[in-house]
Each structure stands twice: as structure tokens, then as C-alpha cells.
Amino acid sequence: MNLTLPRLPEGQVLDVVRAPSHVLSASGSQVDPTHPLVVQLCADLVATMRVAPGCVGLAAPQVGVAGQAFCVDVSGHPKTRTSHGLIVLVNAEIVEASRNERGREGCMSVPDLTGDVKRATKIAVVGQLPLSGERVLITTDAFEARALQHEIDHCYGVLFLDRVTDAHAVYPRKNYLEPGDPLGP
């Protein structure tokens, strides 16, 4: 069920922008998927995502570029039910969504918080592949659907904090293990 991507160049690890940076709240422009700078940006997004433990997606605004490009890879994540492997899209939009469900989300651009966000559990996304510009349709569900919606939101200047279910649905991120945790002391 993996998506066949064109071979991207080697990517460089970029710095991740943190809220409240303006680029995170600005709607990104559509980009030319065949332009060498966009292709390199996509490769850099993948490289940056891969070095961050637990990261399953990254969008161009998160590395300071106000453009509509992102990558997602939920394969190997314990919450994954459906996985298309590595997904890299530009100019993507959700064309169908159903069955909303609340779930916890975090973000590399908001490293100290998580929050409960209501998202569709089944979606269809149309976007273009970098390098070839080919338009593709991805239909997915569960955790992969949540990750895609999260990254598409970034491309339109929306953070997960903008979508939390209520004022009491934001939590400090737990970056340490406590007694009683499965891997804790």
C-alpha cells in the first residue's frame, strides 16, 4: 500500500521554527512541484523529520518556508492502522472527510504542549508529487489521516492549538519517565 515517490535528492536537516513565529500562522502559497528548490525542500523536510524521535510529519512552514509542501510517515508508529509509507506532497487538499474523533496531538513547532483535537478518521487527499508533479489521490484512515490533516493545516497557517476541543484540552508534554511508566525507573 506504499505510495511510489520519485527519487528525491539527499536532504539536509533544517532548524524547526517554533510558535509564535509568524510563518506558522500564515497561509502558505502553492508551489511548483517540479522546481529544483521545491524538490530540495521536500528532501530536506524528510531528512529533518527522520532525525526527530517520534516525529511522523513535517510541513514547509515548520522550517520557515511559507509554502504548501509536507511529508508524513506513520509506518512503525504504534497507533498506525493504515500506512502508505513515506508520503511527500505539495499543494495538497482534503477532498473528503468523515467520522470525526478526538485524539491527542503534539507538534515539533510547539514542543512543550500536546492537545486534544477533533479530526476526521477517514479522509481523501489530493496533491502533487515533488519532481514529477503527478497528481495523486490518497485515501486513508485513523492515525495516518490525523497526521495528514495536521500537516495540511500547517500549510494553511493553522496549528493544532487552534483546533483544541476546549480550554482544558491542552497539556504539558511529558518529556521524562516517571515511576510507574512502562519504561520508567
Decide: 146 and 80 in contact? Cβ < 8 Å.
no
Looking at residue 1, its pLDDT comes to: 59
Which pTM was predicted?
A: 0.91
Q: How far apart are CA 99 and CA 121, in angstroms?
A: 5
Q: Which residues contact 176 (CB under 8 A, 6 or more apart)?
A: none
Query: What residues act catalytically?
Result: 151
Using CA atoms, how far apart are residues 152 and 162, in angstroms rounded to an integer?
14
pLDDT digits (tens, 9 = 90+) for 103-157: 999 999 999 999 999 999 999 999 999 999 999 999 999 999 999 999 999 999 9
* Assigned CATH topology for domain 22-172: Peptide Deformylase (3.90.45)
The pLDDT, as a whole number, for residue 180 is 46
Half-sphere exposure of 88 (CA within 13 A, CB side): 26
Domain ranges of the chain: 22-172
Q: CB–CB of 106/173 below 8 Å?
A: yes
Helices (H), the chain: 36-51, 142-155
Average pLDDT, stretch 171-184?
56
